[in-house]
Every structure is written in structure tokens, then in C-alpha cells.
Amino acid sequence: MKRYLIAGLLVWVPLGVTVMVIKLLVGLMDRSLLLLPESYRPDNLLGFHVPGLGVVLTTIIVLVTGMVVANLFGRKLVKLWESVLAQIPLVRTIYTGVKQILETVFSSNGQSFRKVLLVEYPRRGLWTLAFQSSTTSGEAQTKTGRAVVNVFIPTTPNPTSGFFIMVPSDDVVELDMSVDDGLKMIISAGVVVPEWRPAQLPGNAKPPARPDAENAA
């Protein structure tokens, strides 16, 4: 009975969580229908609610916005809009920060959140997963006198919060695992460990012996 119960939970719990997350996202996007005049809203025209129509409307709005701002006239409108926002203290800080983060993350040649790292945190001898956020040199990097890497250490099981630290590049271990695998490991608190096969050594060479093994011999 215990084995059957666990097997059933392994089927329904991930499915239920997935449905809940999708339902939440669809519900948020459906709120975009409130932008339409009340008489033109699908609920009033059809007489019943059709979930997911907000996703279509949101996608259309994003695509049309991208088409408008991709040309010269659109870029001028964006600059004018941003100059207005720049006059509002709190809004200016939030808008500029979020825009810079998105531009960095979605940059085709950027390295933000594309590498999974191992760093010793919160002290020497303890290791944790981190994501490389930037290697750009700035004032902090220059004044440390060392090459440092900006890393983000997410918390478990909520990876949207965490800590930002600067780690000397010599103390960073770059992993082969993908960002998706790293997130799975963090969210599961280490229960889900991505499969990894080390590269084969050339010929019949043996891997180097560990120091403790040599001392024991």
C-alpha cells in the first residue's frame, strides 16, 4: 500500500502543482481583458467566461508594442516616455533598474544567469550553487584589486530570493549543469541531483589519486 501511495503521489502532485501555476499565470493575463471597454469584453459578448483569452490579448499587445518601438519613431517615443518617468523619483529608480536587468538577461551575447557555479558560502568548506550574474568590471571590482565575479545565490525552495556576493574568480568552480538543472536542484533542496558523466580520460589513463588516498597507502 505504501508503494502504491507513493507512486500515485508522484503522478498527481507534480501535475497538480503544474496546473496551479498555469492557472495562476492565465488568471493574471486574463486581467488584461479589463483594458477593453465593458461592452466589448468576451464575457459580455459570449455570455460566458472563456479562460485563456487574456493570454491571446497579452501576446498581441506585446507583439504590437515590439513592432512599434522597433523602428526609429518608436524609439523616440520610448525616449520621450522615459524622460517623463525620469522626473518621478521612486518610479525612476524602479523602472530603470528593472529595464537594465531585462536588457542584460535577454541580451544575445550576455552571460547573465547562463552559468551555474560552485562557491564556498557562507564560509570556507561549505559549498552552494550560484548563478553568474556578471563579469563586468566596475568600481567595486577595480577597488578590490582582484578579478571578481558577480554571483547570485538563490534560497531554497524559493529561488526568486537570495543573496548577491562578489567572489574572486579563482574561488569559483564552473559546473557543466544547465541553469534548469541547477534550479531543480535548488528548489528540491538537493533531492533532485542532475545526472553528470565526467569526460573520458584519453587512452587508459587513470584519474589522479586523491591526497588522502595516497596518505592512506
- Predicted pLDDT at 104: 67
Gap between the Cα atoms of 177 and 194, Å rounded: 7
- Predicted pLDDT at 105: 66
- Predicted pLDDT at 217: 43
> Does residue 201 belong to any structural domain of this protein?
no
> Does residue 204 belong to any structural domain of this protein?
no
Alpha carbon 51 to chain centroid distance? Answer: 27
> Does residue 20 belong to any structural domain of this protein?
yes
> Which CA distances in Å does 19 have to 16, 22, 26, 27, 204?
5, 5, 10, 12, 50
Same domain, residue pair 133 and 179: yes
> Does residue 147 belong to any structural domain of this protein?
yes
Same domain, residue pair 145 and 163: yes
Same domain, residue pair 174 and 123: yes
- Predicted pLDDT at 205: 47
Domain enclosing residue 56, as ranges: 2-70
> Which CA distances in Å does 63 have to 31, 68, 99, 101, 133?
18, 9, 18, 20, 28
> Does residue 28 belong to any structural domain of this protein?
yes
Same domain, residue pair 91 and 65: no
Q: What single DSSP character describes residue 52? A: T
> Does residue 146 belong to any structural domain of this protein?
yes
Mark the ranges of the chain whose per-residue pLDDT is less than 70.
104-111, 199-217
Same domain, residue pair 126 and 176: yes
Same domain, residue pair 120 and 180: yes
**Overall number of domains in the chain:** 3
> Does residue 34 belong to any structural domain of this protein?
yes
> Does residue 39 belong to any structural domain of this protein?
yes
Same domain, residue pair 131 and 173: yes
Q: What is the pLDDT of residues 20-45, one digit of tens each?
A: 988 888 888 888 888 888 888 888 88
- pTM for the model stands at 0.58
- Predicted pLDDT at 108: 60
Same domain, residue pair 6 and 61: yes
Same domain, residue pair 8 and 51: yes
- Predicted pLDDT at 211: 45
